[in-house]
Amino acid sequence: MSPIKALFSHSNPLFKQFIFPALFSLGVFWLMFWTYYLSWNVDNRLLHFLLTDVVGALFGFFLMFNVLFVYPLLYFKGASSTQRMTGSFLITLFWCLKEFYRMTEFYTLGESAFFLLFPIQANIILMSFGFMGLSELACRCITRKYRKIELKVLTPLPLSIVIIVLGIVIFTLHDGGVTYFFLYNDLYKFFFM
């Protein structure tokens, strides 16, 4: 059997623990993205608004909160910490790459990369890490309660990630996001003007 076939074989534990759940969630993400994107070409007004509004809302919800679904799925499938973090960050990573590519149409590569620090993009990235920490804590709590395994729930790494991310998100949203937005603009002027 070739190495590629062996990797994607149903008998491979890595396929069951990591590859299939991560690729499935990524497939759902791309399906919603392309449905939303192509819905702008639909001529039927009712179907157009239904697709853009409903699929657009689901797409945004899935982008923001996918980690809360994917991380526990990977956790309870037995994926390692690295696999859980990688698999649950895949959607955010691909979305960032899509946004970067979209911005290269108008801006330089440096400006396009800097665009990922824009408040909405930065908060989506940060919230992904924060939700990973929350998911780890929740999964440990569930494992301890229902599987009767003696497991420490409040561990330093996920707890510190949640606290740090929460602090940064509060800073970016402080005063309606104005403070962070002005900081972003000043940094943009400093680097690119």
For residue 67, the model assigns a pLDDT of 95
Tokens 């809302």 found at: 57
Average pLDDT score over residue span 38-65? 89
Does the pLDDT of residue 33 top 80, yes or no? yes
Quote the tokens at residue 186. Answer: 């000043």
Quick: pLDDT tens for 136-156: 999 999 998 888 788 888 899
Q: What mean pLDDT, rounded, does the chain reach?
A: 90
Average pLDDT score over residue span 82-101? 94
* Contact (CB, 8 A) for 64 and 127: yes
Q: Which domain holds residue 159?
A: 3-192
* Among the listed residues 31, 25, 160, the one whose alpha carbon sits nearest the alpha carbon of residue 79: 25
For residue 3, the model assigns a pLDDT of 65
Q: State the pTM of this model.
A: 0.87
Q: How many domains does the chain have?
A: 1
Helices (H), the chain: 3-7, 13-14, 20-38, 45-50, 56-77, 81-103, 109-114, 119-146, 156-173, 178-192
Does the pLDDT of residue 126 top 90, yes or no? yes
Does the pLDDT of residue 12 top 80, yes or no? no
> CB neighbours of 69 closer than 8 A, spacing ≥ 6?
25
Average pLDDT score over residue span 9-13? 71
Quick: pLDDT tens for 151-174: 888 899 999 999 999 999 999 988
* Contact (CB, 8 A) for 133 and 161: yes
